[in-house]
Amino acid sequence: MMIRYTIDTHEELQTGVIRVMEEQLNAISNQCDIPETIDITVHKIRKHCRRIRALLRIIRYDIGETSFLYQNAKYKEIAIKLAKARDLNVVIAYLAECFEAEEININEEEFISFIEHLSSIKEAEIKLLMEKDSLHYIKQEVKAEIDNIYNLYPIDFGPKTVSKGIYQVYKKCGNYMALSQRMLDDKTLHKLRKEIKYLLYQMQLCGEVWPSFFASYSSDLKTVADALGNDHNLVEAIKYIKEVPSDVLSPESKIILLDTFNYERQEIHQEIWPLVGKLFAEKPQAFVKRINSYWLIGRQVGA
């Protein structure tokens, strides 16, 4: 199945929205039917949910707030069901990579004990997902959405649909950027990362109208999103380090790991802020006016 997460210039917006939504829903359904591995499946389902939620943010004001909130909550709930398994998998892989690169200065026996401890938590989480038949539940939820898709999006979307949806996400990115630079707390950074991801996916949806611009801007958004993703992984690793029993990891080793990862977080923050500032240098109205011009002109040319 070919998946094109973009609205083609020759498509009516409603047609493109339904096609993209249907492709993302079918991709989730396929992952539930034939999981590659549980880790890959969890990652892909969460990614498709994030893409759907980015699309919903574009059409939010056309489908109405009630419909938006209901659908957004549905895909958020699916992603949350899989979040702990995803975080544990990423943290374990990251720790192993750091240890292999000799960036973690604790003895091998303690490191193995720590990884085994995290792996046991992950296995218990996966077992819980299987016992609750979570993939079957997700498939049923998705099937209901596919069956009802033409009733959900009957709107003849207007010329301002794209700009209205992007405006709110871009504005939130700028607000969370300013808050993060002042406070640098984990919750605000996490919110900034999520909004940047939504904006990245929205830029990909619009990409066909001016590929060179949208590809370049999307590339910079992805660089920042990946860096903030690494920061989030470090936050999760730090959380598990703090919670691990002393018979698994000694207090001295805990301090070493916490110091190492906190230092890595500082380096990430120092590296990303200049690029974040560049990405959100424009006022929301000016940015969206420009995007809307590209969208309208590009679709006239491509029609």
At 227 the pLDDT is 96
302 pLDDT band (50/70/90 cuts)?
low
> Closest Cα to residue 42, out of 91, 90, 83, 94?
83
DSSP calls for 88-114: HHHHHHHHHHHHHTT---S-HHHHHHH
Burial of residue 150, with CB atoms counted within 10 A of its CB: 0-12 exposed, 13-18 middle, 19 or more buried:
exposed
Q: Do 298 and 240 form a contact (C-beta atoms < 8 A)?
A: no
Pick the range with the lowest mean pLDDT from 13-27, 56-70, 76-90, 289-303: 289-303
What are 184-223's pLDDT values in tens digits?
A: 789 999 999 999 999 999 999 999 999 999 999 999 999 9
Share of the chain above pLDDT 90, in %: 82
Q: Is 33's pLDDT higher than 90?
A: no
What are 254-275's pLDDT values in tens digits?
A: 999 999 999 999 999 999 999 9
Residues 46, 221, 88, 183: is their CA dihedral positive or negative? Answer: negative
Residue spans per domain, the chain: 13-149+157-302
What are 55-109's pLDDT values in tens digits?
A: 999 999 999 999 999 999 999 999 999 999 999 999 999 999 988 988 888 999 9
At 267 the pLDDT is 94
Report the mean per-residue pLDDT for the chain. Answer: 92
Q: Do 198 and 48 form a contact (C-beta atoms < 8 A)?
A: no
The crossing angle, in degrees rounded to 10, of helices 108-131 and 65-100 is 150
Share of the chain above pLDDT 70, in %: 98
Q: How many CB atoms lie within 10 A of CB 296?
A: 15
Q: Do 90 and 118 form a contact (C-beta atoms < 8 A)?
A: no
> Any residues with CB less than 8 A from the CB of 70 and at least 6 apart, and which?
none
